[in-house]
Structure 1
Amino acid sequence: MPLQEHSWYDHVRLKRVFVTDGTRHQVVLVDVRKLLVCADRDNTDYVLKPVAEWHSGKVRGIREFLDPDNTRVPQMPYVTISTRRAPGLLGWVGLEREGVVAFRNGQHRARYLAEAGARWFPVEVHEREALLLRELCGAADDARTVVRATSLNSGGGV
C-alpha cells in the first residue's frame, strides 16, 4: 500500500488474516477516511485516540512493525460493519442509516496508516458484510490500479 506522507518508508505490505479455503472472509479495498468515520461511531469504548496523542513507544513500535523491510508481513486489519439509525429526523423515522465499523484486529495499523498518508488499504471482513463495507467504505475504482502497481513494484504482497 502506498504511503504519501511518511518519512520512514513509502509503502507497506499486508497479508490476509484468513488464508485457508472456506474461510468465508473477503478482502475489501477501503477508503481510509470513510472507514475511520464509520469506526469513530463505534461505541464499544475501544476507539483509539489520534496517532499524535499516542506515546512515542507505541508510535515507534507500530512503525517498526509495518516496516516493509521486516521479514514478517503484518496482517491487514480485520473488521465488522453494521448500520444504525442516523442522527436527526430522517434517522429517527428510519429513513436514514449510517455505517458503524468495529475493529476485530488492526485498529492501530489502520490509524497509523491513515496518519502516514495511506488513502486506501485492504481489510478483511466476513463475506456476509463485504457488500455493505464496499457500499459504505469502498475505495474508488482508480485505487485498485495504484495498489496493483505498488504491489508489483515492491515485490509482491498487498
Structure 2
Amino acid sequence: MKNTLSCSVTIDLDGGDGEIIVSDKKQTLIISIGLSAITLRNFFSDLNALYTYKKTKFKLEHYGSADYYLFVRDSNVIRIEEVKKPGGRDIYIFNLMDFLLTFEKGFQRFFAKLRKDGLLPLNHDKDDFMYPVNKDVTNSFDGFSKSLKQ
C-alpha cells in the first residue's frame, strides 16, 4: 500500500513560531509550535524516543498557549491528541512508520530549502541560541533521521 501521507513545514525565522502539517486523505493534523529553537530540539528527541520505545508517550506544548499535543505509541500506530483549553480534543491516528518517515521527509525538504537560500549552515559569528533552526535543532534532527535509517 502506498503511503498517502504528506508533510509541510513552515517556520518564521524571525519570530520562531512554526506550523507542521501532516495529512492524508482522511485527516489533517496541524501542529503549531512556538519557540522553535527549544520546541524542535525536544520534539525530534521525543519522536526518536517514541520510535525506539524509550518512551511510549510524550507531550508537546505550544509555548504561549494552553493547548498541547499528546503523542502516544501503541505498537505500530501513533495516536496524536490535540488538547484544546479550556476544552476540546481532536484525535489523529497514523501508522507510526509512515508518520515518522513522512515527518522526516518534510523536514529534509525544509532544511534543504534553507541551505539553498543560504540560511544554513549558520555563520560561526552568529549568536544562534534562540535562532529557530540553530545547531541544537539541526543536530537533534540529524540524530532522529539517522535513527530512522538504522
**TM-score tier (shorter):** under 0.3
Flag the structure with more relative contact order, 1 or 2, with Cα contacts below 8 A and sequence separation at least 6.
1
Larger of the two Rg values belongs to structure: 1
With the length of structure 1 as denominator, give the TM-score of the two structures.
Answer: 0.26
**Structure 1 or 2: larger strand share?**
2
With the length of structure 2 as denominator, give the TM-score of the two structures.
Answer: 0.27
